[in-house]
Amino acid sequence: MTEPLYYTTHRAAIGELLIVGTARGVRYLTLLADGADVAAHLTKKFGNGVTRLDGFFATATTAIDRYLTEGSRLRLPFDLDGGTPLQRMVWLEIARIPYGETISYTTLAERVGFPRAVRAVASACGANPVPLLIPCHRVLAKDGTLGGFSLGGLETKEYLLLLESQKAAVAA
């Protein structure tokens, strides 16, 4: 039997978020475009059977808000479903990058055992279904430039990196 999927939308500091999850954790997180048809987006991504259940995500939305406004560390369970073996390996390695730190796509490729597959690793970053929870914003180009970011683009990536670096500096 398929595990029930629930969703909510949430106005956060970076925009309107769509959060989808199961009892095990968040499975999908994205920014919605203004005026987006949430039902159509959910149907395209998951088919039918995703139920709106706002209260189910109260802990997650509170934690996301605290992270985006105060820089509080964000630790929420995620429920990875799908992805290739390489993508899943990359996502789990990204989840190990310490708060306030960054690594390069090259280093990430080395860490997952595929040092010549930098482009595939970068593509896996872009396919991350739960940005923020698996902090792919902490992965940069070899020369230190930002590269891409699927959750709101480079402006959001820069915001998150600045937020974390400021909070990490205060904690040090």
Annotated active-site residue 125? The verdict is no
Helices 118-126 and 85-94 sit at what angle, rounded to 10 degrees? Answer: 80
3-state SS class at 21: strand
| Annotated active-site residue in 97, 118, 133, 136 | 136
With tokens 């560390």, the residue in question is: 73
Write out the two tokens for 169: 């500096």
DSSP letter string, 141-170: -TTS-----TTTHHHHHHHHHHHHHHHHHH
- What is the sign, positive or negative, of the torsion defined by CA atoms of 162, 167, 168, 172? positive
Distance (Å, rounded) from C-alpha 118 to C-alpha 104?
10
Distance (Å, rounded) from C-alpha 83 to C-alpha 23?
20
Residues with catalytic function: 136
